[in-house]
């Protein structure tokens, strides 16, 4: 069949931490857990009118007639899996989550498969996402439905391999769970300013948006910290984040060090050192967040 160019919505989804799952569990148990996740994705794709093009290891690629349909499938998949996990414990004691990247635009259709920059960008965005997240290009938000546009949270800009310049991205906030907390930390003068840089943080089911004020964010195991982490490798008072001038700075105070992985970059280990945060990435309190993403603190520097 001859190739032809057409516009489509492309979705990539995979299971976070599947390699770790197979290491910790017997192969049959881990396989069942992964297949349960993929089954929810396939069902959501089918109900949204999409088509699963192929399975890729622990993930799938799907195609849709338009971007809103791809987003509907992504939202439904995340909600279905969340509901499934709330009704039964995860086999290894940790929630098995999916990460999703979406893009839309011209693709080349050939023999039932699809190729081109749109496909490559969707795949890269899935790689940027953490478990439970849906990531898309910010400039596509205007093409979403009115309901979906209200779910968009702007993130920073990232460099996508093969694409220039760096691209602004956004998260589609699908989780309407009342137990999921969004906290806005204001400065000591009584409120956030209208401009500057903001920092978004996420850990477990909590989210914080930090304004460019004087607030000092503390991270550690002790209850007095802003972000209390259930992590045995962390110190009681592990690290802090503070705003200096126009920059967010992470300062390590720990015994085991703090590891920071920016998108598509190797992790940087801090030991009683400081690091400027930019773009988006993950923070590991005493461990490499790329090796254990479910236990990491995710961050994005947000331009306003």
Q: Are residues 222 and 281 in the same domain?
A: yes
pLDDT band, residue 184 (cuts 50/70/90) = very low
Q: Give me Rg for the CA atoms of the chain.
A: 20
Q: Are residues 190 and 99 in the same domain?
A: no
Q: Are residues 18 and 95 in the same domain?
A: yes
Work out whether the CA dihedral 213, 216, 217, 223 comes out positive or negative.
Answer: negative
Residue 15: count of CB within 10 angstroms of its CB: 25
> Could you tell me which residue, 4 or 183, shows the higher pLDDT?
4
- State the Cα–Cα distance between residues 273 and 253, nearest whole angstrom: 8
Number of structural domains (the chain) is 2
CATH code of the domain covering residue 44: 3.30.70.1230
Region 233-246: mean pLDDT is: 89
Q: Are residues 32 and 160 in the same domain?
A: yes
CATH code of the domain covering residue 248: 2.60.200.20
Q: What would the pLDDT profile of 202-222 be if each residue is shown by its tens digit?
A: 998 788 888 766 668 999 999
Q: What would the pLDDT profile of 105-137 be if each residue is shown by its tens digit?
A: 999 988 889 999 999 999 989 887 877 889 999
Across the chain, mean pLDDT equals 80
**Which SS3 state, helix, strand or coil, does residue 84 take?**
helix
> Could you tell me which residue, 58 or 29, shows the higher pLDDT?
58
Where in the sequence is the domain holding 154, given as residue range(s)?
Answer: 4-172
Burial of 209 (0-12, 13-18, 19+ CB in 10 A): middle
Q: What would the pLDDT profile of 250-299 be if each residue is shown by its tens digit?
A: 999 998 999 999 876 788 999 999 998 888 889 999 999 988 888 999 99
pTM to 2 decimals? Answer: 0.62
Q: Are residues 103 and 206 in the same domain?
A: no
Last residue of a domain, one of 172, 199, 221: 172
Most confident of 152-156, 167-171, 295-299: 295-299
Is residue 192 over pLDDT 80? no
Q: Are residues 134 and 264 in the same domain?
A: no
Q: Are residues 189 and 213 in the same domain?
A: yes
One-character DSSP codes across 148-170 = HHTTEEEEEEEEETTEEEEEEEE
Question: What pLDDT sits at residue 131?
Answer: 79
Question: What pLDDT sits at residue 219?
Answer: 96
Closest CA to 175 of 108, 78, 252, 270: 78
Last residue of a domain, one of 148, 172, 196: 172
Helix, strand, coil % in the chain, rounded to nearest 5? 25, 40, 35
Question: What pLDDT sits at residue 190?
Answer: 29
């Amino acid at each position: 069949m001859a190739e032809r160019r057409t516009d489509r919505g492309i979705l990539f989804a995979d299971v976070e931490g599947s390699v770790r799952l197979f290491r910790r569990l017997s192969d049959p148990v881990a396989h069942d857990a992964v297949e349960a996740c993929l089954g929810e994705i396939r069902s959501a794709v089918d109900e949204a009118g999409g088509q699963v093009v192929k399975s890729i290891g622990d993930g799938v690629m799907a195609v849709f007639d338009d971007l809103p349909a791809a987003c509907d499938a992504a939202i439904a998949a995340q909600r279905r899996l969340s509901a499934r996990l709330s009704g039964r414990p995860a086999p290894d004691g940790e929630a098995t989550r999916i990460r999703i990247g979406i893009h839309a635009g011209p693709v080349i259709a050939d023999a039932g498969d699809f190729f081109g920059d749109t496909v490559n960008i969707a795949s890269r965005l899935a790689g940027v996402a953490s478990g439970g997240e849906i990531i898309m290009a910010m400039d596509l938000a205007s093409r979403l439905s009115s309901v979906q546009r209200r779910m968009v949270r702007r993130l920073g800009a990232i460099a996508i391999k093969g694409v220039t310049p760096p691209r602004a991205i956004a998260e589609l906030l699908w989780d309407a769970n009342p137990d999921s907390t969004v906290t806005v930390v204001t400065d000591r003068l009584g409120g956030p300013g209208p401009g500057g840089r903001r920092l978004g943080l996420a850990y477990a089911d909590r989210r914080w948006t930090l304004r460019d004020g004087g607030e000092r964010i503390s991270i550690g195991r002790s209850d007095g910290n802003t972000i209390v982490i259930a992590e045995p490798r962390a110190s009681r008072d592990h690290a802090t984040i503070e705003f200096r001038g126009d920059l967010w700075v992470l300062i390590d105070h720990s015994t085991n060090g703090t590891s920071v992985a920016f998108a598509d970059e190797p992790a940087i280990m801090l030991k009683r050192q400081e690091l400027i945060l930019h773009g988006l990435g993950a923070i590991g309190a005493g461990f490499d967040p790329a090796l254990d993403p479910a236990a990491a603190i995710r961050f994005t520097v947000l331009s306003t």
